[in-house]
Structure 1
Amino acid sequence: MRNTAGWMAAGMLGAGLGASGASAQVAPADARDDVVVTAARTNLPASALPLTVDVIDRETLSRQVTVSGSTVEAVSALLPAFSPTREKITGVGETLRGRSPLYAINGIPQTTPIRDGARDGYTIDPFFIDRIEVIYGSNALQGIGATGGVVNQVTVRPPQRDGWSGRTLLQGNTGDDLSGDALGGKIGALVNYRSGRFDATAGAAFERRGVFLDGRGRRIGYDGNQSEIQDTDTLSFFARAGVALSDSARVEVVASRFRLEGNNHYVPVEGSRALGIPATTRRGQTPGQPSTGLAQMVSASLTDGDWAGGVFTLQGFYNRTSDTFAGGVLATFQDAAIAPVGTLFEQSRNVSRKLGGKVSYERAVPGFEALTLTAGFDALVDRTAQTLVQTRRTWVPRTDFRSLAPFAQGNLKLLAGLVRLAGGVRYENVRLDVPDYTTLASAGSRRVTGGTPAFERALWNGGAVIEPMRGIRAYGSYAEGYTIADIGRVLRGVSQPNVRIDDFLDLTPVISNNREIGVEVNRGPLTASTAYYWSSSDAGQVLVRNDDGIFNVVRQPIDIAGLEINLDTLTPLPGLKLGVGYSHVTGRTDTDADGRLDADLDGANISPDRLNLNADFRAGRFSARVQGRYYLSRRFQGQPAANDFGGYRLFDAYVAYDAPIGRLMLSVQNLGNTDYVTYYSDTQGPTDNARFYTGRGRNATLSWQASF
């Protein structure tokens, strides 16, 4: 359900907005008043906070994942402000409102701030996700990384009744020609147990993916650099145990393990952009180790909803990721001292370990109940290194990131709720610890002197919500978010001599300022919202692609502005709901450091304008949905003409029947079997034939789900 309301706490904030096509159904306005978004880190209802949020419930997520195959694809398909995905495991260039989103699980950040491996959307199986909360716009709710917003995956909740319960999933999918290479499938099971104050949940899921076929039945090209989601196996585990210490207090432990590994059955075959021939694959085995992605997480939390008259929350977590990339004979990895240039096969591995803790307390002021105050403190320590697997060279040295951040937030209710004012501050104290290191030969084998650069910054937010009558809200807000330009890309790209990290300007943080105004209407059968936003960064980060497909980071000023419109309405036909969503976004940057924004952001940094259409129907045991996505053409002023985007449209559909035992569902992705070049490939690397990728053609999935 989408809720538009007020936001304000760059560290304790809240969020809520009206409705969008992400909702499984339209709830009445009074029900939305009680919606609490956990990623907003407040127990105030969404109606009290000025921001834009989408909440994708379990049923909607389950259906969309069946159509598209992953959480990232589901979010991208449902939300117009999210860019088209690359249809690969990497999220490089995938943006929300033109900036990178922060992925989180139960509020635990999955992004690695030092060396962004861009696989943070693939760290837990969607089978274990209860809902997804998407908070739009730059903010510091969860600390570093949310310059585009937050995508928070909330894991399955404990059972509400004593005894055993659970659910299962069986599914198979195939490309349009039913070939064996394209066959895939998934099996999952989740078991719950509750006895009095104790509850526990455990589950496992296994998925095998075949090759992907495009609209003409050709195998889609394999990314030998960033790795793939096709031709992989995924094995995932999830566990949760909790005890209610009292009627208001609960302690809980959550653990998950997600491992994705390539099957190594295919090798890339270059295409030809000049001839319009896309890259493809052939049977074969890539040298080196299979590409893998491993994510492990353990968290413990204590919550008390009635501690000294307020709400107390304490959380600690450990998170470790290890990503091995496919590699290749790439120019960046060549070193004549090891092997003749042009012959050395290499692949990299990115390993990150995070330790963190969060504590907060929220309550209304005694004697002045209209004012709710929140205070808290966050701590995060991240250690990351990127090494080359075959030659054991250091690409990014082992670097430590430490963030300490107290925050405070206030929310004031005036005129019996007609007006609400909200505001707050988060104070970030960040330090890096970079050792001495030597860059690769391709960067000049430069000896770099390490250091401990640091910064301190207060991140402010403020806003107001006006509700002139029930079901109509307007808001305006300002919020600051921050991140650090991918430190690993900066460190490994140092090519000038005698660099001292403490004096290296490119390690300064990216501070993004997000301003937003919006209106929400929830009256009768109509739920509609519109929001206009604009954000800027004096020293933003722009991804610039090398010829071999590896990106470096360039610091440039950035201005982004956009408009979002969403509308859902019930129709006179019982059970039929129609929805439309539109997103327009523009981005400009200064490419020559003359103080003037002289070029558009390209396709690696900005998404196309987009129109979403959908129709949902339910009658008794039967339900169905048809959805369309229109990605509109775009020219990038100041960029190569070859990178202009031609646009394309995609349609998906599913039908479901609630059988006496379980639910049967048939879903079809790319119903019209459209043959298209993906947005990322179409707008990047105009001379790169190896990464000239078409998108996935028609793909059908048959599923059976059952609960007990």
Structure 2
Amino acid sequence: MSRLLGSTALVATLMIASVPQAMAQTASDTAQPVAVAAGDLRTALDQVADQFGLQLVVQGDLSGMESGNLSADMSARDALQSLLSGSGYGFEFVSDDSVIIRPVSATTSNAQGTLILPEVVVTATRSRRSIATMSPSVVVIGSDQIEAQSAKSSDITNVIRNNVPGFMFDDQSLISSTETFRGRDVQVLVDGVARNTPLRNSSRILSMIDIQQVESIEVIPGSNAMNGDGATGATINIITKTGEVGKNVFVVDAHAKSYTDDIGESFSPSLTVSGRGGFGAVDLAASVTGSKTGNAYDGYGNQVPSDAMLGQGGFDNAEDLNVFGKAGVTLAEGHRVFLSSEVVRFRQDIEYFTDLTTDPVSVNYDNAYTGQPLEDESQYFTGGYEYDFGKMGKGDLKLFYNDSYKQAALSDFDSTHNNFQLVLADSTTALDPLGQSVIDTVKYGLKLSTDTSLDQVYDGMTLTWGGDLIYDDVKYRSVSGRDIGAPMQQDGKAVFAQLSAPVTQFVDLSGGVRYEKFDLTVDDYLRPNYLYNRTTPIAAAQFTGGSTSYNAVTYNASAVVHWTEKLDTSFSYSEGFSIPDVGAYTRRAGVSGAPLNFASIDVDASKVKTYEIAARYTGQDFRTSGAIYMSTNKRGDTFDSATNKLSQQKERIIGAELNGEYDISEDTYVGALASYVEGRYDKDKDGDLEEWLPNNRIPSPFRFTGYVDSYVWGDLNMRFDGTYTAGRYKIEDEKIKPSLVFNLSGNYPLLGGVARFGIENIFDTSYENPAATALRGYSVAGHGRTVTIGYRREF
């Protein structure tokens, strides 16, 4: 990995040096021939910038906006004015060769006074629906927002949390089990294909996705079954970059990050080389990112344990390589075939075990780590065909293959949190040195989605229909190759239909149904022998497998009312479902009363119903949206660590979300996001919701983020934000403390590129990470002050 990073850095440096610096254009009003084809607005702006040697700094999100064609002799000012006309965006030359593109107001109107809003299309619903016809709680995070916010962090979870109020504070580790949304699970899609592994939750999903390959992020809060199992709290769809013929771009992006408590030991460089474009009928996009990280430190200046979460690892002392590629061929107008791939190689070399006896947990320098490294070796492939068959409809057919190998870290003995340890097969006391767990999953299938216009029935009506065929194969083993959970295979079949239509110009209605059936086979296996509390042998036991079928019919309906050009409201009802983590339960077979026969495990699909009322207001200088919701579940999944049992019982979660932005001036705006969530469940199954949901479901009931974004000294864009996470005191003897963290980031055009800097936890505050503490039940410190410096250059 070190040789790879060194070689890549050398090649990138030589390439930068070999490209002549563009001469500054001092005559922005000098006319020259301009030829730009109609299409994506951001692409057109980049083409004009290239032709005139300009550096663009974009404030706002241009995703989904289109422009007309240009073909005339004109100046840079005239070209920019023509492209941005009617878009709600304007421009300003801050130097001879630097231009800021920013919203001129949130309510730009045309000559007739009609409000102009850019159409943003959402695909996570399996249909191409305009965001204007969906609940105001739906959020699309565009490439400009992603690029600006990645100045201080390259973690996708940070970008989502800074834009979507319902997303919980992350635990600053590799796992996603604490990445709850409205107190429930999140389904993660990449270009519409699920990354979740429902039969045995491998957790590492968002943390392993390279932000450099991301074009936009769609977030649909609430339950949603349109993409299958898992979306009981939200659906997050990661849209990767796609090349465009005639727009060839090569990018070098490098940054380095360090903790200020020990810059040398924490120094963490990263380098990305990427490009996209196309020729003829072929479009291409690719990126390679390599990174290496050092130690991590908390606000007290103490080194953070590499494995504070008992086997789940972290980002420190790691090497990471991500290779992404996508190619498409346009066969004819409306018909395209494509293939995309992503390969992940991650390795964390842990030096010391974690001391769980301290508060917060700390590095045990007297106990050197003796296990194998934590590793992730995964590859994802998707091929497909996009079509337009006229009256039949337009859509896509996707075939995918996901193969992931996720190796956990070795956890040391602890009498409270890790008192069962795997021993050698022929011994009762000798620990297995290769006893750490591995989740090896293969998932492949087919997804079909088609939008068929029903204008002949009702003007504007669209029927979205399709189906899925999915196969999962899960093996849960130790590094030594012994099964520690029952091997499982599952076939899934689903069909769906969604009908949407505008009812006059003021109301958009949508409703749909999905039927899904799973056939699960759980194999027999020998549950291996363990050592309990270092003294009591637990003999191996035979687990008897079996088979079962789950099925679910889910419905959804929504109504969006456009009261005025500025005010929208919506009411929606949606259903989603999830399958319990059966693999985790079979690992405990024969221990603490857990059954040794699959037929005795009473689990069923868990269906969540969500009711939501939302509103959105878009004024000239002020924008806001909010939602209140309630989600219910008759068979919620709760794991009780004290009894080592999984239970399913009635539960209810309520919450509210609010966000808003206000333009103080053309150069400065302020904003805030706030969310509240709380829930109860029927622990004794008497019909009453008498107990609060555990902290691992709701680590904090309230979160608030405030920020100010401003241009200072001309074209230096800076953003200052702070996040308050409230404590939770509902569970006896499991109190979660509040936290308050401030951050700063900036972007500045320099030498034809953009220089960036970011400071996380500016005041080096010592705080308890609420999500990590809630998951394991002991205090885990949050990370201290980090400084990131980076540079991005497009050619």
> What is the TM-score of this pair, normalised by structure 1?
0.90
CA contact (8 A) 2:245 2:283 kept: no
Does residue 1:134 correspond to 2:223, yes or no?
A: no
Instruction: Please state if 1:182 is matched with 2:276.
Output: no
Which residue of 599, 618, 632 corresponds with 1:536? 632
Note the C-alpha offset of 1:305. 4.0
- Aligned-pair CA distance for 1:682: 3.8
Confirm or deny that 1:707 pairs with 2:790. Answer: no
How far does residue 33 in structure 1 lie from its aligned partner after superposition? 5.7
Larger Rg belongs to: 2
Q: Which residue pairs with 2:614 in the alignment?
A: 518
- Pairwise CA distance, 1:308: 3.1
- Tell whether the 8 Å contact from 1:543 to 1:604 is kept in structure 2 after alignment: no
Are the counterparts in 1 of residues 738 and 768 from structure 2 also a CA contact under 8 Å? no
Instruction: Assess, with a 3 A threshold, how the Cα gap between structure 1 residues 42 and 685 changes in structure 2: closer, same or farther.
Output: closer
Residues of 2 paired with 1:239 and 1:424: CA distance? 34
Distance 1:628 1:587 in 2: 26
CA distance in 2, matches of 1:207, 1:262: 12
* Cα separation, 2, equivalents of 1:682 and 1:465: 39
What is the percentage of aligned positions where both structures have the same residue? 24
Q: Distance in 1 between matches of 2:485 and 2:342?
A: 27
Match of 1:225 among 293, 298, 311: 311
Whole-angstrom distance in 1 between the partners of 2:686 and 2:117: 48
Distance in 2, matches of 1:650 and 1:202, equals: 35
- Change in Cα spacing, 1:277 to 1:156, as seen in structure 2 (3 Å) is closer
Between 461-470 and 280-289, report the one with greater CA deviation. 280-289
Change (3 A) 1:419 1:269: closer
Q: AA paired with 1:680?
A: A
Cα separation, 2, equivalents of 1:583 and 1:118: 24
**CA displacement, residues 44-70 of structure 1 (integer Å, 9 cap, x when unaligned):** 311223362222222322333332331
Indicate if the aligned counterparts of 1:512 and 1:537 stay in contact, CA closer than 8 A.
yes
Matches within 5 A, 1:133-152: 133-152=218-237
| Separation of aligned partners in 1, 2:244 and 2:506 | 38
Note the 1:303-382 alignment, pairs <5 A.
303-305=386-388, 307-308=390-391, 310-329=393-412, 330-335=418-423, 338-341=426-429, 343-345=431-433, 346-367=435-456, 368-382=458-472
Quick one: structure 1 residues 680 and 552, their matched pair in 2 at CA, closer, same or farther if it must change by over 3 Å?
A: farther
Alignment pair present for 1:389 and 2:479: yes
Deviations along 1:660-705, one digit per CA (max 9) or x if unpaired, are: 321101100011111011113444555x5xxx32111000000001
Task: Quote how far apart the aligned CAs of 1:394 are.
Answer: 0.8
Of 513, 516, 519, 1:425 maps to 513
613-622 or 123-132: bigger deviation: 613-622
What are the Cα deviations for residues 42-98 of structure 1, in whole angstroms up to 9, with x where unaligned? 123112233622222223223333323311233234433111111111122220110
Q: Secondary structure at the match of 2:697?
A: coil
Q: Give, in angstroms, the shift of residue 192 of structure 1.
A: 2.2
Residue identity in the other structure for 2:650: P
Give runs of aligned pairs for residues 154-165 of structure 1, distance below 5 A.
154-162=239-247, 164-165=248-249
Note if contact 1:67-1:667 (Cα within 8 Å) is conserved in structure 2.
yes
Which residue number in structure 2 is paired with residue 654 of structure 1?
Answer: 745
Deviation at 1:159, TM superposition (A): 2.7
Q: CA deviation at 1:141?
A: 2.2
Report deviation, 1:321. 0.8
Q: Does 1:250 align with 2:340?
A: no
* Structure 2 partner of 1:475: 570
1:501 pairs, out of 582, 585, 598, with: 598
Q: Indicate conservation of the 8 Å contact 2:245/2:282, yes or no.
A: no
Matched, 1:489 2:580: no
* CA-to-aligned-CA distance 1:369-424 (integer Å, 9 cap, x gap): 2321111111111111110113x321122211211110001112212x21222111
1:647, distance to aligned residue in structure 2 (A): 0.3
State the partner residue of 1:75.
160
Question: Which secondary structure state, in structure 2, belongs to the residue aligned with residue 122 of structure 1?
Answer: helix
Deviation at 1:272, TM superposition (A): 4.1
Selected match of 1:633 from 709, 727, 730: 727
Structure 1's unaligned 5+ residue stretches are: 4-23
TM-score by length of structure 2 reads 0.80
2:193 to 102, 108, 117: 108
3-state SS of 1:42 partner:
coil
Q: Secondary structure at the match of 1:491?
A: helix
- Residue number in structure 2 paired with 1:287: 370
**1:338 to 1:562, Cα distance in 2 relative to 1, 3 A:** farther
Distance in structure 2 (CA, Å) of the matches to 1:389 and 1:170: 35
Trace 1:251-266 onto structure 2 (pairs within 5 A).
251-264=337-350, 266=351
Q: Is the 8 A contact 1:333 1:440 kept in 2?
A: no
Give 3-state SS (helix, strand or coil) of 2:459's partner: strand
Give the superposition deviation at 1:271. Answer: 5.2
Structure 1 residues 142, 32: closer, same or farther in 2, change over 3 A? farther
* Runs of at least 5 residues in structure 2 that lack an aligned partner in the other structure: 1-59, 63-101, 109-114, 413-417, 531-537
Q: 1:379 to 1:685 in 2, by over 3 A?
A: closer
Greater shift in the superposed pair: 440-449 or 307-316: 440-449
Partners of 2:708 and 2:719 within 8 A in 1: yes
Q: Which moved more, 1:643-652 or 1:309-318?
A: 309-318
Q: Report what 2:697 is aligned to.
A: 605
Q: Which amino acid aligns with 1:695?
A: G
Kept in 2, the 8 Å contact 1:77–1:629? The answer is no
Shift of 1:536: 1.0
The count of corresponding residues between Structure 1 and Structure 2 is: 670
CA-CA distance at 1:177 after TM superposition: 2.7
Q: 2:539 and 2:148 mapped to 1: Cα distance?
A: 51
- Across the aligned residues of Structure 1 and Structure 2, the Cα RMSD in angstroms comes to 2.4
Q: Secondary structure at the match of 2:158?
A: helix
Q: Distance in 2 between matches of 1:39 and 1:120?
A: 17
Q: Which residue, 448, 459, 465 being the options, matches 2:560? A: 465
Match of 2:140 among 43, 55, 75: 55
Equivalent-residue separation in structure 1 for 2:123 and 2:419 (angstroms):
45
TM-aligned CA distance change 1:56 to 1:428, over 3 Å: same
Q: Distance in 2 between matches of 1:513 and 1:444?
A: 43
CA contact (8 A) 1:322 1:351 kept: yes
Aligned to 1:615: 708
Equivalent residue number for residue 7 of structure 1: none
Please report how far the alpha carbon of residue 623 of structure 1 lies from its aligned counterpart in structure 2 after TM superposition.
Answer: 0.5
